[in-house]
Amino acid sequence: MCRWAAYLGSPIFLEDIISRPGHSLIAQSQEAAECKTSTNGDGFGVAWYDQRAEPGLYRDVYPAWSDTNLRALAHQVQSKLFLSHVRASTGSAISRNNCHPFAAGRWSFMHNGQVGGFEQFRRYADMCVPDELYHHRKGATDSEILFLLALKEGLDQDPLQALERAVAKMESLSRSRGTTPHMRLSVALSDGERLYAARYSSDHIAPSLYYRWSNSRQGWAVVSEPLEQEQDGWHQLPAGGFLTLSADGPVDGAKVTDFDPNRHDVDLNCPG
């Protein structure tokens, strides 16, 4: 399992999420509190938005706590919207291409969880990615496939429906060709304007996911674990929930709807 944190709002330095809080993302990479593996040292990554539509991307295979370049970048770079991730591999190799977040065009995406038995049907899952998107397939993770399938299903038009259909496809492949747990998922994704997150599981164990509005920062944080211990204002996204955040503030800027991949019929034939 992995840990991640995302932000949307008035521009802040990346370190205000990644390294400065008492339970920052780097702190969670060394000692996570709500994770099956307390250490997440198999790489890290940051995707941030600034003046261009496409996000900047910095990823590497070092543990986040030992990379001085990450701390230097986080100390200097400000952004209104960014995604950050520390990785604990569930089977795929430790490589830069397997580190989150993933990016394609203006979209960025990161995932915590697993698709049961993915290594048993990885080649088949790859065939489900259409030719026009397959050049984005750089690594070997189930997370990257999930992202590309969501793009195929129409992230630009309807992020909720597209992600539901992508998850339904991968969960069905796991049920037919893989093992349990078929799907455990907490994800964050963005088009550079809004920040989306989802929490879901095919069993009763859904990865943790919280969100909070900060009056001092004038922005939203969405995280695997709260950034400060005993800090109030954190809301846990319910299992089977989909969160849409905008920069409009705490009253109109957050919307929670149902996330239910099971409402979609799935064709297991690939390509298709």
Write out the DSSP string of 85-132.
EE---SSS---GGGSSPEEETTEEEEEEEE-TTHHHHHHHHHHTS-HH
Is the model more confident about 146 or about 95?
146
Q: SS3 of 187, please?
A: strand
How does pLDDT run across 152-203, given as a tens digit for each residue? 999 999 999 999 999 999 999 999 999 999 999 999 999 999 999 999 999 9
Residues 138-161, mean pLDDT to the nearest whole number: 97
Distance (Å, whole) CA 79 – CA 9? 9
* 240 contacts 258 by C-beta, under 8 angstroms: yes
Distance (Å, whole) CA 199 – CA 241? 6
* 239 contacts 231 by C-beta, under 8 angstroms: no
Residue 271 in this model has a pLDDT that exceeds 80: no
Q: Name the H helices within the chain.
A: 15-18, 25-30, 68-76, 118-127, 131-134, 142-152, 159-177
Q: Which residues are known catalytic residues?
A: 2
Structure pTM? 0.95
* Biggest alpha carbon–alpha carbon distance for the chain: 50
Residue 232 in this model has a pLDDT that exceeds 80: yes
Instruction: Say which amino acid occupies 166.
Output: A
pLDDT at position 175 is 95
